[in-house]
Amino acid sequence: MAAEIPPPLASGAESEIPSPAAFEPLSATSNYLDAEAQNISFSAKEIPAQPYKLNISPDLFFMLLGYDNYNGLVGGGYLTASDMLGTRTSAFS
């Protein structure tokens, strides 16, 4: 069976759609935080400082394996790793 097409809107139906002015503007944090969380503020003195610990983690690992008619089985790989700040990076291929 073919899908039925709904009839056009009856006259006066446009008045049921609220105007954009009917909506109150939202603050940048109102969608994410409740009222209690919006009033919390931190200063740098309240957060304890800790020494930086070097922790290297892999960023990208890529391997490729194939077959070539002239050389036979061929392959390669690529690995990059860095610390959290991105100041120490290593790449191996």
Domain positions in the chain: 18-92
Q: Is the distance from CB of 59 to CB of 90 less than 8 angstroms?
A: no
Highest mean pLDDT among 8-17, 37-46, 65-74: 65-74
Show Cβ contacts of residue 57 under 8 Å, excluding neighbours closer than 6 positions: 81, 82, 83, 84
**What separation in angstroms does the CA of 81 have from each of 49, 51, 53, 90?**
26, 21, 16, 5
1 exposed, middle or buried (CB, 10 Å; 0-12, 13-18, 19+)? exposed
Average pLDDT, the chain: 78
Using a cut of 0.85, tell me whether the model's pTM lies above it: no
